[in-house]
Chain A
Amino acid sequence: MDISLRKNKTDLFIVIIAAILVVFFVAINLFYSNSKDNIISVYYDNEIVHTMYLNIDEEYIMDKEEFPLLLDRMVIEVKQGRVRIKEEESPKHYCSIMGYQSQKGTSIICAPNSVMIIIEGYEDTGIDWTPGGAA
């Protein structure tokens, strides 16, 4: 096939397109870093396996085949700015009984399934917590 072995203007054009692509994705990166407060991290066996956003409704299904430490299939639901474990298998179903959580910094821990859901960020609740302190 006749392919030139010397650099030409078209090559430069391709590099310029690549530069535009970089700028475009840097812009996306900045957009996502600005919306970091809405991030929900799903941990499985102490590793982040999925990221969700409080402002985007989504159902994340975790299957036993893919995550063998699960007791059975698990469904995590983000709906109207809140997150909950919709379906799970555990001895007393505490994970799903916890219901919806929406406060930044809170977590849903489902130890029997080795799953932890953390709403990233910090939200001042106005409560002055004093460990063990009774006024």
Chain B
Amino acid sequence: MTTKMVVRYGFFLALSVILSYIEYLVEIPILFPGAKLGLANAVGLLVLYYFGIKYFSMFGVLRVVLSAILWTGFGINFFISLSGTILATITTILIAKHTNASIYGISISGAILHGLGQVIMVAILYQTLYMLTYVVFLTISGVITGYLMALIVANLICRMPKIVS
């Protein structure tokens, strides 16, 4: 990784931390309570596109850890967020590597599995299966927000110069 790439990677990481903080502060009631746009995940898609799987694999975890250090702390929310991010990252990598899905399919699957990972962690932490029924709403919102984020990222990529050589 060249110095230029390190700087650009750091820039993307900082951007995603800030965006996740904004979403944490201003909870926009989209579709269902708890559902988020996933602006930080959109930055993750840019990282996947420009830097590849290797750097994308650690991007989500770095963002969650940095957000915890800076603002949210290492409480229950950290583990819920981390589980969602890990599951979404694994899914995104598998789909990007082994299928010919476009940025839309990758984004939608990542958004759905992000919600699913969080719900699974809540079910484990609170020892209740009740939250699993919430997967229905998170899956529907995941399809919609995943599509929207992919739309934004696809447009950004078309308009932005090729930043990583």
Shortest Cβ distance from A2 into chain B, in angstroms?
A: 9
Min CB distance B137 to A, Å, is 9
Contact A14 B154 (CB under 8 A): no
Kindly provide the distance from the CB of A83 to the nearest chain B CB, expressed in whole angstroms.
15
Within 8 Å of chain B (Cβ to Cβ): is A7? yes
User: A97 CB to closest chain B CB, in angstroms?
Assistant: 26
Q: Which of A5, A13, A28 has the most chain B CB atoms closer than 10 A to its own CB?
A: A5
Contact B136 A14 (CB under 8 A): no
Would you call the interface of chain B mostly helix, strand, loop, or mixed?
Answer: helix
**Any chain A CB within 8 A of the CB of B165?**
no
The answer to whether B105 touches A11 (Cβ under 8 A) is yes
In whole Å, how far is B138's beta carbon from the nearest beta carbon of chain A?
Answer: 9
Quick one: which of A3, A6, A11, A22 contacts B140, CB cutoff 8 A?
A22
With contacts A1-B48, A21-B135, A25-B139 taken as known, whether A14 is within 8 angstroms of B126 at the C-beta atoms is no
A4 at the A/B interface (Cβ < 8 Å)? yes
- For the complex, give the distance between the alpha carbons of A21 and B143 in Å: 12
C-alpha gap A7/B133 in the complex (Å): 30
Q: Is the interface of A mostly helix, strand, loop or mixed?
A: helix
Given A15-B108, A18-B108, A32-B129, decide whether A5 and B103 contact each other with a Cβ distance below 8 A: yes
A40 CB, nearest partner CB in chain B, Å? 11
B88-135 at interface with A (beta carbon < 8 Å)? 95-96, 99-106, 108-109, 112, 126-130, 132-133, 135
In the complex, the answer to whether A4 meets B139 with C-beta atoms within 8 Å is no
B24-52 interface with A by 8 A CB criterion = 48-52
Q: Is the CB of B133 within 8 A of A25?
A: yes
User: Residues 7-46 of chain A: 1 if any B CB is under 8 Å from the residue's CB, otherwise 0?
Assistant: 1101101110010011001101100100000000000000
- Contact B52–A28 (Cβ < 8 Å): no
Assuming the contacts A1-B48, A18-B142, A51-B130, asked whether A8 and B135 have C-beta atoms less than 8 A apart, the reply is no
By a CB distance below 8 angstroms, the chain A residues around B130 are 32, 51
With a 10 A CB-CB cut-off, give which of A3, A5, A10, A51 has the most chain B CB atoms.
Answer: A3
Q: Name which residue of chain B comes closest to A6, CB basis.
A: B102
Q: Looking at B104, B108, B128, which has the most chain A CB atoms within 10 Å of its CB?
A: B104
**Residues on the A chain within 8 Å of B53, using CB:** 1
| A10–B100 touching, CB < 8 Å | yes
Q: Which residues of B contact A94 (CB under 8 A)?
A: none
Closest A residue by C-beta to B99:
A10
Shortest A128–chain B CB gap in Å is 36
- Best-buried of B50, B95, B99, B136 by chain A (most CB within 10 Å): B136
**Shortest Cβ distance from residue A19 to the other chain B in the assembled complex, whole angstroms:** 8
Which listed residue, B106, B112, B157, touches A21 by the CB 8 Å rule? B112
Contacts of A60 in B (CB 8 A): 127
CB distance from B108 to the nearest CB of A (A): 6
B127, chain A: closest CB distance, angstroms: 7
